[in-house]
Amino acid sequence: MESMKPMAQVLSELQVRPVERSEEQRYREQMARHHYLGDLAKIGEAIWYVATWRGQWVAQLNVSAAALKCGVRDRWIGWNFRTQYDRLKLIANNSRFLILPEWHRPNIGSRVLSLTERRIARDWQGRFGHPLLLLETFVDPRRFHGGVYRAANWTELGLTQGYRRTRQGYSGEIDAPKRVFVRALHRAARAQLTHPERNHLQLTGAPKLMLSAEQMRALPLCFTTVTDPRRRQGRRHRLPVVLGIAAGAILCGMRGYKAAHDWAESLGQKARERFGCRREKGRYVVPSEFVIRDCLVRIEPDTLDRALNVWNQAWAKDDRALAMDGKVMKNAIDAQGYQTHILSVIGHESNTCHTQKSRDIARSRQR
């Protein structure tokens, strides 16, 4: 840091942006080296941010999925369990906040938080396709007082009960209760989170599901009749497994190839076994983001439509049939001059758009 620069000038020139793919290794290494909790993998809906000053890294933030349960937060919002599960994705958790060692200066932390708050709702909508209404974070009082969050106008709600989540569920022993802070990104955040009409929130797609073991086993079976368009040489993952995992990710609220792959990476070994994943060196492995994207782009829409109806007949509660509708986006031309085609899966009875996918017409015909 250029020590001669006035702090007011430094604060005014700070910028916050998402971490680029090429920077993720550096981001993870610094988080592992300097944060007392270490690195945190990107699972599901998550965005990593970096704050910079004239190209120098100042701070790093993880924003990821909200905690499944938090008593003081849930009471403050005032929602019931049914509403909570479907709308939990409208809340995100500031799961890591690291100010790099050479940048421990007054007001840096609150300024970085403020800049992040200004852009995160737009970033979240663009990347995951749904609004973001509230941020939350948990502060360990044994280490911090939460002053940086108070300075950034976050609201302290109280303490957690102190139970720690493990692979087997919640531990029976109380660890250290954490201070809970929230920051509304909309003036009527609580009212919107508890609004009786789901459509009021402009949520697209079907309500997010939690797949059962039986559903995980059934999803790949829906795609067993789909012909694999890939060359036989070099296939590591069976096509029904790839398509089943992609469909499972969408049903669980993921949007985009990266989010689908992150969701797949978050699956435990038992879940991977249920999907029929390939076993390597004693462990089940999931398809890469490239494999998921490559398979979805190559499969014809009519083929996916028939496979989706197999799932619909077995599991859909409201819709007796699904329709796949395609439209050419007027004046939507990419840098290579190709038109964009939007494919949508619509429920006949509910009129719910279960999923949408853009497809490049000219490139598809060339494959």
Per-residue pLDDT for the chain (367 aa), expressed as one digit of tens each?
A: 555 468 888 999 999 999 999 999 999 999 999 999 999 888 778 999 999 999 999 999 999 999 888 889 999 999 876 677 778 889 999 999 999 999 999 999 999 999 999 999 999 999 988 899 999 999 999 999 999 999 999 999 999 987 665 444 444 455 689 999 999 999 889 988 888 766 555 554 444 556 788 888 988 998 888 888 888 887 899 999 999 998 888 777 676 788 788 888 888 889 999 999 999 989 999 999 999 988 888 887 777 777 777 776 776 655 555 555 555 544 445 555 555 555 555 555 444 455 555 554 444 444 4
- pLDDT at residue 82 in the model: 63
CA-to-CA separations, 111 to 95, 117, 138, 243, in angstroms, rounded? 18, 10, 19, 43
Token pair for 162: 């102190």
Q: How many CB atoms lie within 10 A of CB 242?
A: 28
Short-list 248, 170, 158, 153, CA closest to 208: 248
Residues in the chain: 367
Q: Measure CA 265 to chain center.
A: 12
Q: What value, to the nearest 5°, has the Cα angle with vertex 357 and ends 197 and 265?
A: 90
Residue ranges in the chain assigned as alpha helix (H): 7-13, 24-34, 71-77, 81-87, 108-128, 147-151, 189-193, 213-221, 239-251, 257-266, 269-275, 289-298, 301-315, 361-366
Q: What is the pLDDT of residue 36?
A: 92
Beta-carbon contacts of 164 under 8 Å, excluding residues fewer than 6 positions away, are: 170, 171, 173, 175
Domain ranges of the chain: 7-201, 213-320
Cβ-Cβ contacts under 8 Å for 277 (sequence gap 6 or more):
237, 241, 245, 284, 285, 286
Structure tokens, 310: 């197999």
Decide which of 3.20.20.10, 3.40.50.12780, 3.30.56.10, 3.40.630.30 is the CATH code for 7-201: 3.40.630.30
Q: What are phi and psi of 187, to 5 degrees?
A: -65, -25
Question: For residues 286 and 244, is the Cβ–Cβ distance under 8 A?
Answer: no
Q: Which residue type is seen at 51?
A: A
